[in-house]
């Protein structure tokens, strides 16, 4: 699932949410415990296209289960979603089933408001056994042997590129071909960004969030930035400091671009489809962007480069589906939950130009069936070995955002790598009480 990144997308999605709220008859109030046991109220954020797909799933679900009524409560933007949900949980008016973001799941698990799901997932009525999911995607949704949410789907961040843009900078090697041959190295990637800059073309556009900075370190061979106790230790690791310095230098030189800070009217989507940037680090939802722009024929995707050219774990953006511990509709809620996350449910939601990669075994056909992009297999491979936001980070309210804000100072040339990582270590220690 894609997060809302710009004001223009917010307006579009707000309109879609308003329309769907009326159409779907969102819950008008009342406490969780007072609801009909055969009514499932569920909440999510999403783009207009995602919400339409969810509506289709809801309708099909109610046809299969005429005794269960489903009501969806869409919220316009990712930034507004979690504060509202926390307030609803505190007032016992929360939905029965709801999405939780990967940078928030640890906080929600620690709140004690989520239903433990392991026994239900292992039951005869389950279509979603724990072992059906790719294990690297649970992250902080699993604690002390109990599962409190399962990934709805996934979006490995990979590098999308337009061959014609690379060719305009004199780059004739195809990144996906290089990767297939074990030659997609960090040196080659950085040289391509240098050539793009020489041709007055932007290099690589990244969103400033956990999967960017931690994927860079992981793909380049650094150890985890957190130790087993949850303490931040990247500032004490010379390799991590040196890699962070390189990352910062490429942003400071304008060869890497912070997508979040681009001006309205000249955002990352626009720059990419008009050939003004060579690489765009995103998930599968980029298919819709390039097809709408008519540039799909030249666009492919490649995994992150590594020093030796071999694949390495990188970040996978996910969101989780959880069940309210206090729901009065526990049986109906689990039936909805398990069918939504099942292989069949994910195929229905993600088929065609769907916006994500399945998180469960048995649904990979949605990524490969139409043969686009040509290197679509790399999305599955990145998911299989990837990682979600570190549990030590997602359990602390606001910490992923704080860390991204600190990295932005590095990218803008306001401080060096050691200062950046030291500041993160201080914030982690302060917020975690270590």
Q: Read off the pLDDT of each residue in 395-420 and give the average, rounded to a whole number.
A: 97
Contact yes or no for 40/339 (Cβ under 8 A): no
- Compute the CA torsion angle 115, 118, 123, 126 (nearest 10 deg): 70
Is residue 200 in a domain? yes
Contact yes or no for 322/98 (Cβ under 8 A): yes
Do 290 and 425 have their domain in common? Answer: yes
Do 258 and 147 have their domain in common? Answer: no
In the sheet that holds 277-282, the strands lie side by side as 256-258, 202-206, 277-282, 158-162, 299-302
Write out pLDDT tens, residues 184-241. Answer: 999 999 999 999 999 999 999 999 999 999 999 999 999 999 999 999 999 999 999 9
Write out pLDDT tens, residues 318-356. Answer: 999 999 999 999 999 999 999 999 999 999 999 988 889
DSSP string, 388-412: -S-HHHHTSTTHHHHHHHHHHHHHT
Count of structural domains within the chain: 2
List the beta bridge partners of residue 277: 202
Do 47 and 100 have their domain in common? Answer: yes
What is the spatial distance between Cα 350 and Cα 92, in angstroms, rounded to a whole number? 32
Is residue 325 in a domain? yes
At 329, which CATH number? 3.40.190.10
Do 191 and 102 have their domain in common? Answer: no
Contact yes or no for 421/241 (Cβ under 8 A): yes
What is the spatial distance between Cα 131 and Cα 158, in angstroms, rounded to a whole number? 25
Given a cut of 50, whether residue 18 has pLDDT beyond it is no
Is residue 177 in a domain? yes
Nearest Cα residue to 376 out of 129, 70, 144, 160: 160
Do 294 and 185 have their domain in common? Answer: yes
Do 309 and 168 have their domain in common? Answer: yes
Do 240 and 366 have their domain in common? Answer: no
How much is the CA Rg of the chain, to the nearest whole Å? Answer: 21
Do 72 and 190 have their domain in common? Answer: no
2: pLDDT confidence band, cut at 50, 70 and 90? very low
The residue written with tokens 């919220």 in the block is 75
Of the candidates 350, 366, 385, which is a domain's last residue? 385
Nearest Cα residue to 158 out of 2, 297, 299, 283: 283
Per-residue pLDDT at 34: 58
Is residue 246 in a domain? yes
Do 298 and 371 have their domain in common? Answer: no
List the beta bridge partners of residue 317: 155
Is residue 390 in a domain? no
Is residue 69 in a domain? yes
Question: In this predicted model, which residue has the larger pLDDT, 256 or 10?
Answer: 256
DSSP string, 84-102: HHHHHHHTT---SEEEEET
Query: Mean pLDDT over all residues of the chain?
Result: 92
Is residue 391 in a domain? no
Per-residue pLDDT at 31: 64
Task: Write out the residue range of the structural domain in which residue 310 sits.
Answer: 158-314+396-432
Longest dimension (CA), the chain: 66
Do 171 and 246 have their domain in common? Answer: yes
Vertex 7 angle, CA 2 and 13, to 5°: 55
Name the E strands within 126-217.
Answer: 142-143, 146-147, 150-156, 158-162, 202-206
Contact yes or no for 414/423 (Cβ under 8 A): no
Is residue 1 in a domain? no
Do 180 and 280 have their domain in common? Answer: yes
Do 255 and 303 have their domain in common? Answer: yes
3-state DSSP assignment of residue 167: helix
């Amino acid at each position: 699932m894609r997060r809302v990144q710009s004001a223009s997308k917010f307006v579009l999605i707000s309109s879609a949410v308003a329309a769907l709220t009326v159409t779907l008859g969102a819950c008008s109030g009342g406490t969780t415990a007072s609801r009909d046991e055969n009514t499932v109220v569920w909440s999510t954020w999403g783009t207009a296209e995602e919400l339409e797909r969810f509506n289709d799933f809801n309708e099909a679900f109610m046809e299969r289960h005429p005794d269960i009524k489903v009501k969806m409560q869409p919220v316009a933007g990712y930034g507004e979603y979690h504060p509202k949900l926390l307030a609803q949980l505190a007032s016992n008016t929360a939905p029965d089933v709801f999405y939780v973001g990967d940078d928030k799941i640890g906080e929600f698990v620690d709140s004690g408001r989520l239903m433990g799901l392991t026994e239900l997932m292992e039951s005869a009525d389950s279509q979603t056994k724990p072992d059906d999911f790719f294990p690297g995607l649970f992250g902080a949704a699993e604690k002390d042997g109990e599962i409190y949410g399962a990934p709805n789907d996934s979006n490995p961040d990979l590098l999308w590129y337009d061959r014609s843009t690379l060719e305009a900078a004199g780059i004739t090697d195809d990144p996906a071909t290089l990767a297939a041959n074990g030659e997609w190295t960090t040196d080659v990637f950085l040289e391509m960004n240098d050539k793009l800059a020489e041709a007055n073309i932007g290099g690589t556009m990244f969103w400033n969030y956990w999967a960017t900075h931690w994927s860079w370190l992981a793909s380049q061979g650094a150890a985890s930035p957190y130790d087993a106790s949850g303490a931040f230790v990247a500032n004490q690791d010379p390799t991590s400091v040196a890699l962070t310095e390189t990352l910062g230098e490429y942003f400071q030189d304008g060869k890497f671009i912070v997508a979040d800070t681009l001006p309205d009217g000249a955002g990352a989507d626009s720059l990419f489809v008009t050939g003004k940037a060579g690489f765009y680090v995103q998930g599968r939802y980029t298919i819709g962007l390039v097809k709408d722009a008519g540039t799909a024929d030249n666009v492919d995707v490649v995994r992150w480069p590594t020093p030796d050219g071999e694949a390495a774990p990188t970040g996978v953006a996910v969101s989780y589906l959880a069940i309210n511990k206090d729901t009065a509709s526990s049986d109906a809620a689990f039936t909805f939950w398990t069918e939504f996350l099942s292989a069949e449910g994910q195929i229905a939601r993600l088929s065609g130009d769907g916006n994500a990669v399945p998180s469960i075994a048995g649904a990979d056909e949605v990524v490969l069936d139409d043969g686009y992009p040509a290197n679509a297999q790399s999305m599955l491979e990145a998911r299989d070995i990837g990682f979600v936001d570190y549990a030590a980070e997602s359990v602390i309210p606001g910490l992923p955002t704080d860390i991204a804000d600190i990295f932005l100072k590095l990218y803008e040339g306001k401080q060096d790598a050691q200062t950046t990582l030291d500041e993160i270590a201080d914030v982690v220690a302060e917020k975690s009480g270590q």
